[in-house]
């Protein structure tokens, strides 16, 4: 369960996270603790809590996450259920008309046509060969194909670098700054020290928003005045992170239209600056997408991917849309693992993505 989301140290079960009382310096002190030797690197992806009733803790975490997905995907599930309930009600033999009706229903959940065709390909092949196919078999096949699309190889997070540099990329209005703060909260809960870089120097109040989040969650923000060169802010932030021994640097970039050439060039420049200060940085570029925009997210992923390397996705506002199928589409088309999905307003509602929980919540 969530083997990709590693911990730095064992979290005491009696500790209660606080949004306000956390000092940015406290996690930094933890960097003096010895890291696991290289041969044991894969174990970093597994929570250190294994020594204390791992099965009970993992089961509790899994159930909590599955319940959160079920609640957050209610709108998409209900839209699918309205049509699927009638289609799947009787375990009869499937015909071409049945598949056409199912295709329309999947598209209404914002699963793209190319992805829908791939999902239904095994069933269509059976019909073409004249093999009998029952509704129960089709449903099982559909779930397996969705899971196959979503269950991609997922590198450990945060990346295993010191410091690990993560860029948050996307258009205006997708919630990058808030998402960054929630990721910072998750990282601090897992024992990592976090520093944020306010490289969005264009949007009014963007710097102040990130500083406010830093005060609430407990991480330091490196910033300059509004209108400053974003590359210079990135440089300053990464130098500060190196000097202070910070584990993870989260870089908030300006929201930019993916169709604006000059702004995309500015993003490329920031990436180059990061690589000069920290070897191989940024170690992960996360594209933040608003799930409510539906298929527009596909064009955003395509064009941002042409400008910079994309490593993973975060889908926000998943709880506010009946178009949750977009998660399947972007994962299928771009082969990018989904790190988190937004299922509510609270910190913990930015849920680490678990493909099986997602599929179970979408198609029980």
**pLDDT at residue 29, as a whole number:** 38
Q: Does the annotation flag 254 for ligand binding?
A: yes
Q: Does the annotation flag 317 for ligand binding?
A: yes
Q: Does the annotation flag 237 for ligand binding?
A: no
Q: Does the annotation flag 318 for ligand binding?
A: yes
Q: Does the annotation flag 173 for ligand binding?
A: yes
**pLDDT at residue 242, as a whole number:** 97
Structure confidence at residue 258 as a pLDDT band (50, 70, 90)? low
Residue that wins the pLDDT comparison between 69 and 201: 201
Share of the chain above pLDDT 90, in %: 51
Q: What is the pLDDT of residues 30-83, one digit of tens each?
A: 333 344 444 343 333 333 333 334 457 666 666 676 677 667 667 666 766 666
199-203, 279-283, 309-313, range with the lowest pLDDT = 199-203
Mean pLDDT over 207-211 rounds to 95
Share of the chain above pLDDT 70, in %: 76
**pLDDT at residue 8, as a whole number:** 84
223-232, 265-274, 316-325, 329-338, range with the lowest pLDDT = 316-325
Q: Does the annotation flag 151 for ligand binding?
A: no
Q: Does the annotation flag 293 for ligand binding?
A: no
Q: Does the annotation flag 342 for ligand binding?
A: no
Q: Does the annotation flag 175 for ligand binding?
A: yes
Q: Does the annotation flag 174 for ligand binding?
A: yes
- The answer on pLDDT for 116 being more than 50 is yes
Q: Does the annotation flag 363 for ligand binding?
A: no
Q: Does the annotation flag 172 for ligand binding?
A: yes
Q: Does the annotation flag 176 for ligand binding?
A: yes
CA-to-CA distance for 303 and 259, rounded, in angstroms? 8
Q: Does the annotation flag 259 for ligand binding?
A: no
**pLDDT at residue 208, as a whole number:** 95
2-6, 55-59, 229-233, 340-344, range with the lowest pLDDT = 55-59
Q: What is the mean pLDDT of the chain?
A: 82
Tell me, yes or no, if the pTM score tops 0.85. Answer: no
**pLDDT at residue 321, as a whole number:** 63
Q: Does the annotation flag 252 for ligand binding?
A: yes
């Amino acid at each position: 369960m969530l083997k990709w989301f590693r911990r730095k140290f064992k979290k005491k079960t009696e500790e209660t996270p606080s949004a306000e009382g956390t000092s940015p310096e406290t996690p930094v002190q933890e960097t003096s603790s010895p890291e696991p030797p290289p041969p044991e690197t894969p174990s970093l992806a597994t929570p250190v809590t294994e020594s204390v009733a791992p099965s009970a803790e993992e089961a509790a975490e899994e159930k909590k996450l599955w319940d959160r997905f079920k609640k957050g995907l209610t709108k998409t599930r209900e839209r699918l259920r309205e049509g699927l309930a009638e289609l799947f009600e009787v375990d009869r033999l499937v015909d071409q008309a049945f598949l056409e009706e199912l295709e329309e229903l999947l598209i209404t959940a914002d699963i793209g046509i190319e992805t829908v065709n791939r999902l239904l390909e095994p069933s269509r092949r059976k019909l073409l060969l004249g093999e009998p196919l029952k509704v129960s078999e089709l449903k099982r096949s559909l779930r397996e194909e969705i899971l196959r699309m979503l269950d991609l190889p997922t590198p450990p997070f945060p990346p295993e670098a010191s410091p690990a540099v993560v860029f948050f990329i996307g258009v205006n209005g997708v919630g990058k700054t808030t998402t960054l703060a929630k990721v910072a909260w998750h990282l601090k809960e897992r024992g990592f020290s976090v520093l944020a870089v306010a490289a969005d120097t264009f949007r009014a109040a963007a710097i102040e928003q990130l500083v406010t989040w830093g005060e609430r969650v407990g991480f330091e923000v490196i910033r300059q005045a509004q209108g400053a060169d974003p590359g210079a802010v990135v440089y300053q932030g990464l130098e500060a992170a190196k000097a202070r021994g910070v584990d993870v640097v989260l870089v908030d970039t300006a929201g930019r239209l993916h169709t604006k050439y000059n702004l995309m060039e500015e993003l490329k420049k920031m990436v180059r600056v990061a690589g000069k200060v920290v070897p191989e940085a940024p170690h992960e570029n996360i594209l933040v997408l608003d799930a409510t925009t539906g298929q527009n997210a596909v064009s955003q992923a395509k064009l941002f991917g042409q400008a910079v390397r994309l490593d993973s996705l975060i889908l926000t506002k998943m709880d506010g849309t009946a178009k949750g199928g977009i998660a399947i589409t972007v994962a299928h088309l771009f082969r990018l693992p989904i790190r988190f999905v937004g299922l509510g307003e609270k910190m913990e509602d930015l849920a680490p993505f678990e493909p099986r929980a997602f599929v179970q919540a979408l198609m029980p």
